[in-house]
A and B are shown apart, each in its own frame.
Chain A
Amino acid sequence: MKTKKLLGIIFVFGIFLFAGFVNATDSDEMLVKVNVLETEVSISVPEEVVFEDIAQGYLSERQEIEINNLGTVDVDVSMDLDESYNGSIFQNIAFRKVLADPLIYIRYFNFEILKPETVGGERGEEVYMYLDLTEYEEEITSSMFDHEATVVFTAVPL
């Protein structure tokens, strides 16, 4: 019985001893490993915004749009109407970042989104989008239902 106990203790002690050999050596060096990823430019934008009914001389309600930076660099984001749009209504889309700021029309508006705090994370920036027909001069003689255009968000590294 005593021998069995002794063998058991030696066995457990041996495991601890060998475990020590595996995890720590006498070396004064430690291997360091990391995956360093290449820089990436990446954004995510909403695909659709629907304004409430509007008429000439009015400003639309405010639409909150969130653009996400999913990459690893700071980006500048600008907006344009798709080239295929040949109407004039959506030329009056306007944006602002802060409610107290003046409205800036689509072709002149851009803003920055810093990179996410962690790799693989995302950082969102909210902008306010309007359809501003207060200064719209063309006469709207017939209603346009489901009038649409594509706004293209372009992100480039800063």
Chain B
Amino acid sequence: MKIYYLFLFIFLFPLVNAATLSMSPQQIDFNGNVGEKICNNINLKTENGAVLIGETGWAKENYFERKLKSHNLSEEDLNLIIDYPREIEIFNNKTIEVCVTGKKSGNYHGIILYRVKNKPVRVGIWMNVTLEGKGFQIITGNFLGGDGTGVKTGLVISPIIFLIILGGLLFFNRKKKDKIQ
């Protein structure tokens, strides 16, 4: 009987002493406009229930090499807002949503990493973010606000700016007419 316990112990030993974590897919792309919230799903999987701690790292703009140590900037450094669960409890597997909002057009390369709390395993997947400018309102919004609310502020204030410019043009037009007369 003891020999059976010995075999059972030998079989279970590697399971008890190994930490496993899976993430998929290996890369997610966020393509959209400045100020737009762009979302993607990722899947997380562990062999047993676990608490995962998430973090992101970013490379300087227009750097796309898959080198972890070059991704030492924060999302704030690049004026990006990343919305994802910083801490999450999962049982076997879970799909989570990752959303990106940017304030400046450009191409950004980042990594999202999850680590099993109090375990020695951490896994990451790459993120490609491509943001394009969206015209006058967005530019005005960024100029006025400089943060996420700026875009909304711009949408409200830009008609006022438009009226001021229109008023100015009418004023100059009237002045020109007065000169001619």
Q: Is the CB of A46 within 8 A of B17?
A: yes
Bound-state CA distance A70–B22 (Å) is 8
Q: Specify which chain B residues have a CB less than 8 angstroms from the CB of A47 in the assembled complex.
A: 17-19, 119-120
A133→B121 CA distance, assembly (Å): 26
Q: Is A76 a contact partner of B26 (Cβ separation < 8 A)?
A: no
CB of A46, distance to nearest CB on chain B (Å): 6
Q: Which residues in chain B, 8-27, are within 8 Å of chain A measured between CB atoms? A: 17-27
Given contacts A47-B17, A78-B68, A158-B66, contact A41 B121 (CB under 8 A): no
**In the complex, A73 has a CB within 8 A of chain B:** yes
Q: Are B18 and A45 in contact (CB under 8 A)?
A: yes
Residue of A41, A76, A150, A158 near B22 (CB, 8 A) is A41
A44 touches B120 (CB 8 A): no
User: Which residues of B have CB within 8 Å of A158?
Assistant: 66
B37 to chain A: closest CB distance in Å? 23
**Closest-CB distance, A116 to chain B (whole angstroms):** 13
- B122 and A157 form a contact (CB under 8 A): no
Q: How far is the CB of B11 from chain A (nearest CB, A)?
A: 16
A153 to B17, CA, bound (A): 14
| A-B CB contacts (within 8 Å), total count | 95
A125 is an interface residue with CB less than 8 A from chain B: no
How far is A103 from B128 in the complex, measured between Cα atoms in Å? 35
- In chain B, residues 88-125, which have Cβ atoms closer than 8 Å to a Cβ of chain A? 111, 113, 115, 118-125
Q: For the complex, is A55 an interface residue (Cβ under 8 Å from B)?
A: no
Query: Beyond A76-B68, A78-B68, is A153–B26 a contact (Cβ under 8 Å)?
Result: no
> Chain A residues near B69 (CB, 8 Å)?
78
Interface residues of A in 108-158 (CB under 8 A from B): 150-158
Decide if B23 touches A154 in the complex (CB within 8 Å): no
| Binary flags per residue of B133-161, CB closer than 8 Å to A gives 1, else 0 | 00000000000000000000000000000
A153 contacts B120, CB within 8 Å?
Answer: yes
The verdict on B126 contacting chain A, using a C-beta distance below 8 Å, is yes
Task: Tell me which residues from 61 to 76 in chain B have a Cβ below 8 Å from any Cβ of chain A.
Answer: 66, 68-69
Q: Does B60 contact A (CB under 8 A)?
A: no
Q: In whole angstroms, what is the CA distance A57 to B119 when docked?
A: 30
| Complex interface: chain A residues within 8 A of B27 (CB) | 39, 157
Residues of chain B within 8 A (CB-CB) of A39 are 24-27
Distance between Cα atoms of A71 and B124 in the complex (Å): 12
**Cβ of A61 < 8 Å from any Cβ of B?**
no
Is A43 on the interface with B (CB-CB < 8 A)?
yes
With A41-B125, A44-B121: A156-B19 Cβ-Cβ less than 8 Å: no
**Contact partner of B121 among A38, A48, A78, A152, CB < 8 A?**
A152
Contacting B at CB under 8 A, from A21-50, are 38-48
Say yes or no: A156-B20 contact (C-beta < 8 A), given A41-B26, A150-B120.
Answer: no
Q: Which 9 A-B pairs have the closest CB atoms?
A: A42-B22, A157-B26, A40-B24, A44-B20, A39-B26, A154-B122, A156-B124, A44-B18, A38-B25
Residues of chain B at the chain A interface (Cβ within 8 Å):
17-27, 43, 45, 66, 68-69, 111, 113, 115, 118-126
